[in-house]
Amino acid sequence: MAVAFDEMNGPGGDLRPAYRELSRWLKETPPDALEYRRQEAELLFRRIGITFAVYGDAEAQERLIPFDVIPRIISSKEWTLLEKGLKQRVRALNMFLRDIYHGRDILRANIIPDDLIFQNPVFRPEMNGQSVPHDVYVHIAGIDIVRVDADNFIVLEDNARTPSGVSYMLENREIMMRLFPDLFARHRVAPVERYPDELLSALRSVAPLSASAEPTVALMTPGVYNSAYYEHSFLADKLGIELVEGRDLVVKNDEVFMRTTEGLKRVDVIYRRVDDDFLDPLTFRPDSALGVPGLMSAYAAGNITLANAVGTGIADDKAIYSYMPEVVKFYLGEEPILKNVQTWRCREPKDLAYVLDNLGDLVVKEVHGSGGYGMLIGPAATKATIEAFRDKLKREPEGFIAQPTLALSTCPTCTASGLAPRHVDLRPFVLTGSQHVTIVPGGLTRVALKEGSLVVNSSQGGGTKDTWILDE
Amino acid sequence: MLSRTAENLYWLARYVERAEYIARTIDATLRVTALPAAYIGKTNEWESALLTAGVSASFYETYQEATEQNVVEYLAFSPANPSSIKNCIEAARLNSRSVRTALTSEMWDTINSAWIELQEVWGKGTSSREELARFLRFVQETSLRFDGSAYRTMLRNDAYWFSRLGLHLERADNTARILDVKYHVLLPEEEHVGGPLDYYQWTSILRSVSALTAYHWVYRETLKPWLIADLLILNDTLPRSLASCYSNLVRNLDQIGVAYGRQGASQRHARGVRNRLEHSHMDDIFQHGVHEFIQEFISDNARLGEIITRQYLI
């Protein structure tokens, strides 16, 4: 594996310009002062209650995601390019989803094989031919980006269902500003605080035609036991909208209402953080009590906007991911600005053969998996694990893709033995309304806290950092 | 607002108020039991603490005897007692989490910090009276902070009014329960029993509702059962009196009624109870029987809770 690119110290240890002030500041600041601030930050996170739940871990029902106080800095030039690439990609994603559930031009052009869509468990036949308000499917996208060298940001994953983490982007900034006012005074950091306003106006802009001039938006959560519940309540609060559960909603004559102390009130847009499967027991899982009976028929009648739309999971799919460069070209007629990671589709015999021969060097992922579960990291795995995976691959090749192990960039991070480089990724949040695609300058930087580890997921012990986009 | 949000706010306020009340009850009982036997006779004050908390029956399902250790454990820490202080704070925090959008950050901070302290400092209960005293102070301060931050930071809208309804309904219930358990020491004016036993019982009643100093300011007299009853039942200036709780309940329900442009059964019922308190005199109540009066009040109060639930919360 190649030596990772360090975002602060660059190749050959040359301090990169965006990090100049930070580096100077770090030299002036005694290590115990940093440690003291780190503890203070942790206390603040706990008091505010910024936690996530870990399923199956009864001991620690709520955990803190570790927060690293050293910011990750991106220059405005780098950001400008990222922003362009992200907007392009999300535009293409929306057009792809519309096409898949309507004309299917991309299938007829033989760019994507039919069975990859129709046999995919996250494809929703209920959405065939159904129009969604303003043709927007992915209102909120979280695109996972990794950096491999000075010039290249690569897309690792498209999260088009219910991407989470934006509350950390906002809270990390709040806490950094509280703890390090002097450090901010030395930089011009683009603010992220307008994200809730942008989100609300995007959501309002996609209200159905039957909505009033002041559409009512609500955020739907599975409830307090969901791992991202903190984020749900945080966002509802910042947006000034009701945080509803399925039991708060009722469908009458194909309209959706919430139960309030003044009686029923119509809801026009639901930012739902509930998965497709649980939205409506009449259409999807009948055993689920999280959803609202009749919601899908109100949706079909065009009386409610669901954000993100039902059936967007197909764009999350890692097998579809491998076609994204073609998807961008097909719909926009442009070269993709952001590259994909080279991906072998194990469903294709030639690719499978290559993957089986090179398992020790590759990362193999489940096509429908998420959160870093069920993956093989070849270089870090034991022989026995690799062999076990080889059997799985042969049995069910269509369930997997493989990618080279990327040399994810590193950033200086506080560790028990002082500052040390740790691998990071970045999840910017892209909003699509009826008129615009927008991105607040920033995102969630996740950091693998274990030395050498490439796994940044919070469920696997990863932490977060504040992400600074310099405004020059 | 969402019915579920209103319901959570209403119960949140009730839980916090109840935790404080249980803490006060333990505190008052500790004081009485610290007196030499000659002053308190053979009565078991811990048993009466269980009665005023309304958990006597369930206590004896687990414990044989109402000793200080058993009762404190049950009232303050027991997971088996739904009204234990610990359970109240935990329930309050769970409710707060599900209505965070309706709470101000100060209120959330109070509940969340209390919950963290409960886990970290008080997870194993207390092992001495000194520790217990610190714990009780912590609970009372939590309630004060919560109440104060609500008062200072909440918008005066339905979220505020529903939480106030919970608070006053719970408070009225608590005051009524103390009176109901201790009514036998509140005898009619003429029957002068007096004696140190009664004196300390009276003091403990007043302490449970934080009204000992208030009594002296209002009546400028030595403790008299007749006046204690008057203070706790009819005196509108004492925040924990039944009359004061109902003035507040009526006002908050009116505010909701005005905001929603609609009155209903709960407004009517609350006004009825308030009017009865307003037009009562202590001699009539003693004639009628204090116990009977309180019993009726407790069931009227519970009924108001049901009506509010039906009208707004489900």
- Digit-coded pLDDT (tens) for B50-97: 998 999 999 999 999 999 999 999 999 999 999 999 999 999 999 999
> What tokens were used for B255?
């505010």
Best mutation target among A167, A231, A261 (most B Cβ atoms within 10 Å) is A261
The model's pLDDT over B203-215, given as tens digits with 9 standing for 90+, comes to 888 888 888 899 9
Q: Which residues of chain B does A260 touch, with a Cβ-Cβ cutoff of 8 Å?
A: 1-3
The residue whose two tokens read 């469903």 is A347
Cβ neighbors of A318 (< 8 A, separation 6 or more) are A157, A343, A365, A366, A367, A368, A369, A401
Query: Comparing C-alpha atoms, which of A249, A251, A299, A319 is closest to residue A137?
Result: A299
Report yes or no: B97 at the A interface, CB cutoff 8 Å: yes
Measure the CA–CA gap between A440 and B51, rounded to whole angstroms: 59
Categorize the per-residue pLDDT at B181 as very low, low, confident or very high, splitting at 50, 70 and 90.
Answer: confident
- The Cα of B97 is separated from the nearest Cα of chain A by a number of Å equal to 7
Interface predicted TM-score (ipTM): 0.80
Measure the CA–CA gap between B277 and B229, rounded to whole angstroms: 13
Report yes or no: B9 at the A interface, CB cutoff 8 Å: no
Statement: residue A368 has pLDDT above 80: no
Report yes or no: A46 at the B interface, CB cutoff 8 Å: yes
Statement: residue B24 has pLDDT above 50: yes
Measure the CA–CA gap between A113 and A250, rounded to whole angstroms: 40
Query: Comparing C-alpha atoms, which of B47, B34, B17, B31 is closest to residue B182?
Result: B47
The 3-state DSSP class for residue A373 equals: coil
A234 to chain B: closest CA residue: B101
Q: Containing H/E element for A260? A: strand A255-260
Categorize the per-residue pLDDT at A15 as very low, low, confident or very high, splitting at 50, 70 and 90.
Answer: very high
Q: Which of residues 264-283 of B touch A (CB under 8 A)?
A: none
Q: Which residues of chain A does B112 touch, with a Cβ-Cβ cutoff of 8 Å?
A: 47-49
The 3-state DSSP class for residue A52 equals: strand
- Residue-averaged pLDDT of chain B: 91
Report yes or no: B120 at the A interface, CB cutoff 8 Å: no
CA distances from B167 to A18, A436, B95 (A): 55, 47, 15
Categorize the per-residue pLDDT at A373 as very low, low, confident or very high, splitting at 50, 70 and 90.
Answer: low
Q: For position A417, what pLDDT does the model report? A: 86
Backbone φ/ψ region at A165: left (φ over 0), alpha (ψ -120 to 50), beta:
left
Which residue in A223, A233, A260 is closest to B101 by CB distance?
A233
Q: Which residues of chain A does B6 touch, with a Cβ-Cβ cutoff of 8 Å?
A: 261
Statement: residue A371 has pLDDT above 60: no
Percent of chain B scoring above 90 in pLDDT: 71
A235 to chain B: closest CA residue: B101
Q: Which residues of chain B does A46 touch, with a Cβ-Cβ cutoff of 8 Å?
A: 116
- Residue-averaged pLDDT of chain A: 91
What mean pLDDT do residues A237-246 have?
94
- The Cα of A261 is separated from the nearest Cα of chain B by a number of Å equal to 5
Which residue in A48, A223, A244 is closest to B2 by CB distance?
A244
A48 to chain B: closest CA residue: B109
Amino acid at A244: V
What mean pLDDT do residues A391-420 have?
91
The model's pLDDT over A384-400, given as tens digits with 9 standing for 90+, comes to 999 998 999 999 998 89
Statement: residue A424 has pLDDT above 80: yes
Which residue in B97, B116, B158 is closest to A224 by CB distance?
B97
Question: Residue A303: how many CA atoms within 13 Å on its side-chain side?
Answer: 15
CB contact under 8 A, A244 and B94: no
The model's pLDDT over A254-304, given as tens digits with 9 standing for 90+, comes to 999 999 999 999 999 999 999 999 999 998 888 877 899 999 999 999 999
The DSSP-derived string for B75-138 is: III-TT-TTSHHHHHHHHHHHHHHTGGGS-HHHHHHHHHHHHHHHHTSTT--SSHHHHHHHHHH
Q: Which of residues 241-270 of A touch B (CB under 8 A)?
A: 242-245, 247-248, 258-262
Q: How many CB atoms lie within 10 A of CB A94?
A: 24
Q: Which residues of chain B does A233 touch, with a Cβ-Cβ cutoff of 8 Å?
A: 97-98, 100-101
Report yes or no: B98 at the A interface, CB cutoff 8 Å: yes
Statement: residue B114 has pLDDT above 70: yes
> What tokens were used for A339?
């590259």
Percent of chain B scoring above 70 in pLDDT: 95
Report yes or no: B229 at the A interface, CB cutoff 8 Å: no
Statement: residue A349 has pLDDT above 70: yes
Categorize the per-residue pLDDT at B44 as very low, low, confident or very high, splitting at 50, 70 and 90.
Answer: confident
Statement: residue B193 has pLDDT above 60: no
CB contact under 8 A, B1 and A260: yes
Q: For position A458, what pLDDT does the model report? A: 73
Report yes or no: B217 at the A interface, CB cutoff 8 Å: no
**A329 compared with A379, residue with greater pLDDT:** A329
Q: Which residues of chain A does B262 touch, with a Cβ-Cβ cutoff of 8 Å?
A: 262
Query: Comparing C-alpha atoms, which of A419, A425, A426, A427 is closest to residue A451?
Result: A419
Statement: residue A58 has pLDDT above 80: no
Categorize the per-residue pLDDT at B167 as very low, low, confident or very high, splitting at 50, 70 and 90.
Answer: very high
Q: For position B192, what pLDDT does the model report? A: 54
Categorize the per-residue pLDDT at B246 as very low, low, confident or very high, splitting at 50, 70 and 90.
Answer: very high
Query: Comparing C-alpha atoms, which of A87, A88, A116, A85 is closest to residue A100?
Result: A116
A230 to chain B: closest CA residue: B97
Report yes or no: B121 at the A interface, CB cutoff 8 Å: no
Statement: residue A53 has pLDDT above 70: no
Q: For position B15, what pLDDT does the model report? A: 97
Statement: residue A59 has pLDDT above 50: no
Tell me: cis bond preceding B112? Omega within 30 of 0 counts.
Answer: no
What mean pLDDT do residues B122-146 have?
94
B110 to chain A: closest CA residue: A47
A257 to chain B: closest CA residue: B2
Statement: residue A54 has pLDDT above 70: no
The model's pLDDT over A194-222, given as tens digits with 9 standing for 90+, comes to 999 999 999 999 999 999 999 999 999 99
